[in-house]
Amino acid sequence: MDEMPGKVYLVGAGPGAPDLLTLRATEILKRADVVFHDALVHPRTLELAARAEKIAVGKRSGRHSTAQKFINKRLVDAARDHKIVVRLKGGDPTLFGRAQEEIDALRAAGIDFEIVPGVTAATAASAELGVSLTRRGFARHVVFVTPRAANGERENDWVASVLAADTAVIYMGAGLADAIGAELIKRGKPKDTPLALVESATLPERRVLRGTLADLPELARKTGAGPAVVLLGEVLKAAFAKPAATEEIEALLKRA
Amino acid sequence: MDEMPGKVYLVGAGPGAPDLLTLRATEILKRADVVFHDALVHPRTLELAARAEKIAVGKRSGRHSTAQKFINKRLVDAARDHKIVVRLKGGDPTLFGRAQEEIDALRAAGIDFEIVPGVTAATAASAELGVSLTRRGFARHVVFVTPRAANGERENDWVASVLAADTAVIYMGAGLADAIGAELIKRGKPKDTPLALVESATLPERRVLRGTLADLPELARKTGAGPAVVLLGEVLKAAFAKPAATEEIEALLKRA
């Protein structure tokens, strides 16, 4: 019996494609004893954790607090039995990953932890579009936001934040496009603001849709069940007419 | 002679530590014929490009447009002579990397390109601090911003963008801390807003300084010449009292 508690690594799995994992995350997964992973993590990423028990946790969206509390508890328990515990999250753990709730639980239990950053969906989507989110003398600030219908939580106004920023990337619940578009237009965002919707960025099934803010509800109806981000702002005007040729590089790497 | 022009990969080198590179970036570097890299890219990352000519381009900050135009031209020229040309940038290419200027030049010359996203300094810094940039019901939007003294460029107001967001990460020129702090306080950001300054995130020489907005000028004077980001917002209250034990994992991986 090992009396020394283990350590929990909150690891970013990146935006989707398994080769957008970092080298550090790869090495930690190879050494992991247990991996608690989001439903959306790529199977090839999980295969890296060859010696680990792999446990799917968390729903795709709309997780309840009770479920999160259960995950927190399982992380603490696992660190008491294992040396290397991984909590593998889509994207980057510190952006919309509910990491803070897990960190608070680990700290309260005296469990050591470390965060391994990852590539977040916003920049994966901009890469897919072949466009920079910032542009010198033109776009110096970019906001990442999850909008929510008013629900009594104490939080600042996401619309004001989108309106103030040069570029906005909305990490959205799939069903909210109508409300998001209507609210932004009502509050003064021009209807013709260039917009792109990227679903399942970096995966073979990805879909890239371009238009303006006024088109958002229509574009959203064309997407499927994959995770999607909406990118909004003048920089999107430069979005390449054809999707970045990610297939080409995938083929190249396979041949190697 | 190969008549077919090559392809330019705009690749994110990540925030500093060489093992925070993605697997995809690693594979592309291994196959690269030429690599044009920022001054700050880690030597071990450059070593991956074993067969490539490596060319340092770009100053650390304050690059002139002429210098950028020269880089643009060299990328286009290189793609006419080589199959795989890499433009390797610190962090993620689409965040404050001046990628759009290079993309526009490549597109105008009819050169194929692809962006490979990377881990950006903001989330590397939050990982270092052991804190999430977002928090459910508390911080739903985070802005990444480069402030600049007014210089006649047509751009929106970076201060308004910071004020509107729950969390802000300022990718800053080292010398601007006094002006940034004064401007934010003058415009109504509370002096006691929790703040952290992270210099050289993920590198052995990193420095993590914590305080409030009022402390920013004093904290900035304690930093050295490394790249630094300033993180600002209530979520920073949860910043771990001790730095994330990155040394431990580095030792662990070395032993493996």
Could you report the per-residue pLDDT of B114-172, keeping only the tens digit for each? Answer: 999 999 999 999 999 999 999 987 898 999 999 875 554 444 689 999 999 999 999 97
Whether A38 is catalytic: yes
Averaged pLDDT of chain B = 88
**pLDDT for residue A93:** 97
Tens-digit pLDDT profile for residues B164-202: 999 999 997 667 899 999 999 999 999 999 999 999 999
Interatomic CA distance for residues B108 and B80, integer angstroms:
14
Strands A53-56 and A141-145: unpaired
According to the 3-state scheme, what is the secondary structure of A215-255?
Answer: HHHHHHHCCCCCCEEEEEEHHHHHCCCCCCCHHHHHHHHHH
Tens-digit pLDDT profile for residues B50-86: 999 999 996 555 555 568 899 999 999 999 999 999 9
Interatomic CA distance for residues B215 and B217, integer angstroms:
6
**pLDDT for residue B144:** 96
| Alpha helices for B130-243 (secondary structure H) | 158-164, 177-186, 216-222
Which chain A residues are within 8 Å of B9, Cβ to Cβ?
249
Q: What single-letter amino acid sits at A109?
A: A
Fold held by B121-238: 3.30.950
**pLDDT for residue B255:** 58
Tens-digit pLDDT profile for residues B18-40: 999 999 999 999 999 999 999 88
Compute the nearest-CA separation of A141 from chain B (Å): 4
**pLDDT for residue A245:** 46
Mean pLDDT of B216-245: 83
Whether A30 is catalytic: no
* b (16+ CB within 10 A) / e for A202-220: bbeebbbbbbbbebbeebb
Bigger pLDDT: A68 vs B205: B205
Top residue of B115, B189, B240, B254 to mutate, by most chain A CBs within 10 Å, is: B115
Least confident of A174-183, B92-101, B165-174, B243-252: B243-252
**pLDDT for residue B66:** 61
**pLDDT for residue A241:** 47
**Closest-CA residue in chain A for B147?**
A140
- Identify the active-site residue in A33, A38, A166, A215: A38
**Closest-CA residue in chain A for B157?**
A164
- The stretches in chain A having pLDDT less than 50 are 1, 152-155, 241-250
- Indicate whether B251 pLDDT > 80: no
Which chain A residues are within 8 Å of B166, Cβ to Cβ?
155-156, 161
Interatomic CA distance for residues A64 and A66, integer angstroms:
5
**Closest-CA residue in chain A for B10?**
A127
Provide the token pair at A105: 């639980």
HSE-CB at B93 with a 13 A cutoff on CA atoms is 32
Bigger pLDDT: B199 vs B255: B199
Fold held by A7-116: Cobalt-precorrin-4 Transmethylase; domain 1 (3.40.1010)
Taking the Cβ of residue A142 and every Cβ of chain B, the question of whether any pair is shorter than 8 Å is answered with yes
User: Tell me, what DSSP letter sits at residue A191?
Assistant: T
**pLDDT for residue A75:** 97
**pLDDT for residue A252:** 55
Provide the token pair at A197: 């919707």
Confirm if A57 and A71 have CB atoms less than 8 A apart.
yes
**pLDDT for residue A50:** 98
Mean pLDDT of B243-256: 50
Sequence ranges of the domains in chain B: 7-116, 121-238
